[in-house]
Homo-oligomer: A and B are copies of this chain.
Amino acid sequence: MTNSILAYQKYIGQEIEKLTIPSSPKNLYDPISYFLNIGGKRMRPVLTLMGCELFNADYKIAKHAALTVELFHNFSLIHDDIMDEAPLRRGNETVHQKWNVNIGILSGDALLIIAYQQLSKYEPSILAQLLPLINQTAIEVCEGQQYDMDFETKQDVSIDQYLQMIKFKTAVLLGCSLKMGAIVGGANENDANELYNFGVNLGIAFQLQDDILDVYADQDKFGKQVGGDIIANKKTYLLIKAFEDANSFQKNELNLLILEQDLVKKVAAVKSLYSDLDIKSKTEQKMNDFYDIALQNLDAIQISNDKKQPLLDLAHFLMGREN
């Protein structure tokens, strides 16, 4: 990670600590303070600060926009954790686990409102540009989460539907984070939109990489269990593509493997099928397509290349590439 990214992370971490979350009612605000303190990479607010500085503006003027996207992201995590019945987040108990579901719902609601409160610190002309953007993004994030839940029980998820889901659930908030910084930094509409698209396409590429790593990562370097998606029958790009490209014999085998109880055998057999169907390289190809478009988006911004270097470094870092 570059120094500048670390510096942005540190800055935003300090600003989150400085937020004055009220102390009463305890059951409303303690979960918010707790959840904000268990950390995370703060990638979204870092993008906002970088998006602002790209246009020669002091990144600190994007502070409230950066806090907005980070608070919004944490709201969505608290509610997603309830819906996914997740006991842990970043190695700590989730809010509904540590308190209860009602407290998770209400403190999540309050956190979303606190995110909007940050936004209202901008002057009217900036606010009027930021609010529709975060609203549109927020509603898309909800749609993405709904599609993701729907897909769990849906038989025939297409590649396009899957890409739409990960775009909404994850990628648009990255684009929004960057564009909010661009707006605060005084970018023109074209540049702000290219930066938005850079974030969205990079986000989709990153999510596809995540699907690949879940199957093919070195267990030593991977934070989760390699093969976890296969074991959980998660409809990833790889599984959907495999079903799409499989012949009727292979389809049958995949359907049987979903019921397989021997998990080591299951992971090995699905990987073998992926290998027969060349799924890894097909997914890498799709990932590279989105990554290339993201780089084109960045290239199209009418700003000198040296100004873009930090964002290029970030893209390389996120995609695990050498500089």
Contacts and interface: CB of A to CB of B under 8 A. Distances in A.
A131 B116 contact: yes
B123 A128 contact: yes
Given A120-B128, A131-B120, A109 B142 contact: yes
A131 B119 contact: yes
Interface string A130-150: 011001101100110111011
A138 B113 contact: yes
Given A110-B142, A112-B112, A142-B106, A149 B79 contact: no
A117 B119 CA distance: 14
A196 to B, nearest CB: 17
B125 A28 contact: no
Secondary structure dominating the interface of A: helix
Nearest to A83: B102
Copies in the complex: 2
A117 B143 CA distance: 15
A103 to B, nearest CB: 8
Nearest to A123: B128
A106 B83 contact: yes
B128 A25 contact: no
B123 A110 contact: no
A110 B135 contact: no
A77 interface: no
Nearest to A119: B131
Interchain residue pairs A-B with the least CB separation, the first 10: A124-B124, A124-B128, A28-B146, A25-B146, A110-B142, A83-B102, A120-B131, A113-B138, A117-B135, A120-B132
Interface of A: 25, 27-28, 79, 82-83, 101-102, 105-106, 108-110, 112-114, 116-117, 119-120, 123-125, 127-128, 131-132, 135-136, 138-139, 142-143, 145-147, 149-150
9 contacts: A25-B150, A27-B149, A83-B102, A83-B106, A106-B149, A116-B131, A119-B131, A120-B132, A124-B128
